[in-house]
Structure 1
Amino acid sequence: MWSINIAEHRWQNLLKGKETKKSPLVLVSTVAQQLEVRRACKMAQQAGIRIGMNLSLAKAHLPNVTVHKFDPTYDFKVLFQLATWAQKFSPLIGFDPELMKGYRENSLDKLSFQHYGFILDVSGMQKIYSNKIELICKLQKELESRHFEYRIAFANTIGAAWALSRYARQKVVVTESRLLQHSLRDLPVEALRVELQAAAALRELGIETVG
């Protein structure tokens, strides 16, 4: 499964053909009459900017930050185009149900970044790729050439692939069924795909991780 950082892709595209010094990018929208960070590129995140942060606070962290309007419809279209391209690796592709629901109901702006990814079923591709490492290397090479910041997880269940591609420490994770419990146990409770309020309630009860 892939998880894609659209802000990173937008940032790289904005820099194409420009001889200006690279500056970090955040995408913002108005929440409760204030501008709030909705997406942030890798450089911005490394500087301490977080999703949900007030823009004025983000600028205090990073005065030279580049600010653009958050456009969730654009993000969805980019992800859909990427999924169409990814059919070269497998014809069996699925999106997060919440993402598709948000698109149908015109409520993409309410979704968190965790929903922006898709599933590739590669279980029948062994005849084309000799092993998972070969496929991963090809995926990485092509995604990087398109300036995407990505996370990839290979697992034998959709839920495990979703959780690992969002919350594992490593950028790329390959796990076998016998190691699945070990791979999942240290992930935060958000990896259970619960609402933020439910995750907060679990933390208040002292439950911090899946295990």
Structure 2
Amino acid sequence: MAIWACELALDRWRHSEDCKPGEGADEQPLALITETAHGPRIDAANAAGQAEGAARGMMLADARTLCPQLQVRPSDPAGDLAFLERLAIWAQRWGPWSAIDAPDGLLVDVSAVAHLFGGERRLLADVAQRCAARGLSVRAAIAPTAGAAWALAHYARPGAIFSQQDDITNRLADLPVAALRLDNDVLVVLRRLGLKRLGDLAGIGKGSTGRDAIHRRFRNRKSPSANPLVRMDQLAGRVPEPLLPVIPLTAALVQRRLLEPIRHRSLLDRVVQDLAADMARELEGRGEGARRLQLGMWRIDGEVLLRDLELAAATRDPDHICRLFAARLDDVDAGFGIEMLRLRASWAEPLKLGQADLEAAAEEHGTSLSACVDRLTVRLGSDAVQRPILRASHIPERAQGWQAPLEAEPVQQEELAFHARPLKLLDRAERIAVLYASPDGYPRRFRWRGDLFDVARVEGPERIAPEWWRERGSTRLRDYYRVEDATGRRYWIYRAGLAGDGRGGEPDWFLQGLFA
């Protein structure tokens, strides 16, 4: 079933203004506008505005010429999308799942559920009645495929029903090609070719010659909305059309409304402790643990104080949550008092129930690894606590990365085997001056950070080629040497490039690591 909210933006605006169509602020000519580079443009106009000549897509200056008394309000596409998402969840009363058909429609799976409403016609009547009660102007239709239902809802009579899949193209032959949900430039091309109805396109599609001609014209267009053959096959049910269902997600939330406002820190800590215990019970019932928590405090003067907390691992331990929030409440100004507190878990992950083990015993004494990481993160900052991990790269400075301390390591498809690597790499390889016998000979002496070092022993070279899939063509290869000076200290140096390799001048030398 396709549900088309033909006046979605206006209906949402009426909801915000608490008025009905043709009443209150909607009595006068009104338009919703968007600012563009060429001036305000009309996105939607009410019935009074359309009667005066205002239309969607018209520039506001042109509309004001026809209707000087036209009132304007800013449009809100993000708000319209959020309103449509809530509408999609509400529409699941008619089917097991629903999907958003942006920018102003819904698709609801009503397979084998129409008998629960007394048939398909009564189902559509229920849709019209309930939407009208909510102040929504909609057109709905039922068909075997999503494309056919969309076409009927937009271009057929209201409440159209079509249950036979074998005769879809013939039944919809009189609809315009715009019923295929195509881009505007594709519609222009089809009209220039004389293809104005679905029947015209279906007739060409039956023959291999005509279909090949259409395919050659639109073969470079990958999007379904830019290829009429793909849309025609989806409408007829010959090609599946994947849809993304809307899944309602409700964040765990607990709150306390206080009989008397609180101003002292000890009372605030007590309420936070109660909220943490309530949150633990709520998360336990869901089988989840919190990764991000937000504490909201409403003062008497109307100001809202927010404190956010992000955890290294999912948890529902109230004592641990209270200890972490204690460090975030030192700067709270209660003013004349706080009358309500609310704790919300905006991010939660599955966390199964389990018996007490060594980890649980460690948490009781405050020695758990995740508890330690959380304390360090709260005290030092979210980016201060990280751990090194291996990366799939043979370039030394790219073979290691950093990530959150308790996140799972990325799966390595295969282990890269290296020669001996130094325990310490410099953050950035530093240029050195090297004296050597020949352009391709071993280094004999080098200068680094103002000091001169004589090379006593040399091992190498180990040649490392650049990563051709991510480097530029002028990147030079490296020859690495493990060298030891006269005092026994060992270094890892490399020569960038070869003499006469055509990728620059003379080779440069760098020191990148130190051996223990």
Counterpart of 2:371? none
TM-score by length of 1: 0.80
In 1, are the aligned partners of 2:8 and 2:137 still within 8 Å (CA)?
Answer: yes
Report which structure shows greater RCO (CA 8 Å, sep ≥6).
1
The 3 A distance-change label for structure 1 pair 141 and 158 is: same
Counterpart of 1:89? 94
Counterpart of 2:172? 184
The 3 A distance-change label for structure 1 pair 131 and 78 is: same
Amino acid at match of 1:16: C
Please give the per-residue CA displacement for 1:95-153, whole angstroms capped at 9, x wherever unaligned: 23xx4xxxxxxxxxxxxxxx321111111213411211111111111101111111111
Amino acid at match of 2:161: V
Counterpart of 1:172? 159
The 3 A distance-change label for structure 1 pair 209 and 60 is: farther
SS in 2 for 1:64: coil
Counterpart of 2:11? 9
Distance in 2 between the 1:157 and 1:165 partners?
12
Judging by fraction of residues, say which structure has more strand.
2
Structure 2 counterparts to residues 108-187 of structure 1, below 5 A: 115-168=103-156, 170-177=157-164, 180-187=168-175
In 2, are the aligned partners of 1:27 and 1:70 still within 8 Å (CA)?
Answer: yes
The 3 A distance-change label for structure 1 pair 209 and 24 is: farther
Out of 39, 44, 47, the position equivalent to 1:39 is 44
Shift of 1:172: 2.5
Distance in 2 between the 1:80 and 1:68 partners?
22
Shift of 1:171: 2.8
Distance in 2 between the 1:22 and 1:52 partners?
22
Amino acid at match of 1:3: W
Shift of 1:79: 0.8
The answer on 1:68 being equivalent to 2:78 is no
In 2, are the aligned partners of 1:24 and 1:44 still within 8 Å (CA)?
Answer: yes
Amino acid at match of 1:30: E
The 3 A distance-change label for structure 1 pair 131 and 198 is: same
The structure having more radius of gyration, on CA atoms, is: 2
Unaligned runs of 5+ in 1: 100-114
SS in 1 for 2:182: coil
Counterpart of 1:104? none
Q: Percent identity?
A: 30
Distance in 2 between the 1:189 and 1:183 partners?
14
Counterpart of 2:358? none
In 2, are the aligned partners of 1:7 and 1:40 still within 8 Å (CA)?
Answer: no
Moved more, 48-57 or 196-205: 48-57
Distance in 2 between the 1:85 and 1:19 partners?
27
In 2, are the aligned partners of 1:47 and 1:61 still within 8 Å (CA)?
Answer: yes
SS in 2 for 1:67: strand
Amino acid at match of 2:120: K
Counterpart of 1:103? none
Please give the per-residue CA displacement for 1:181-209, whole angstroms capped at 9, x wherever unaligned: 34422222221122101101111222222
In 2, are the aligned partners of 1:8 and 1:149 still within 8 Å (CA)?
Answer: no
Moved more, 50-59 or 154-163: 50-59
Unaligned runs of 5+ in 2: 200-516
TM-score by length of 2: 0.35
Distance in 1 between the 2:87 and 2:18 partners?
20
The 3 A distance-change label for structure 1 pair 49 and 153 is: farther
Amino acid at match of 2:12: R
The 3 A distance-change label for structure 1 pair 20 and 42 is: closer
Distance in 2 between the 1:88 and 1:31 partners?
39
Shift of 1:180: 3.1
In 1, are the aligned partners of 2:3 and 2:105 still within 8 Å (CA)?
Answer: yes
Amino acid at match of 1:23: Q
The 3 A distance-change label for structure 1 pair 123 and 203 is: same
Shift of 1:156: 0.7
Distance in 1 between the 2:154 and 2:126 partners?
21
Amino acid at match of 1:44: G
Counterpart of 2:182? 194
Amino acid at match of 1:173: A
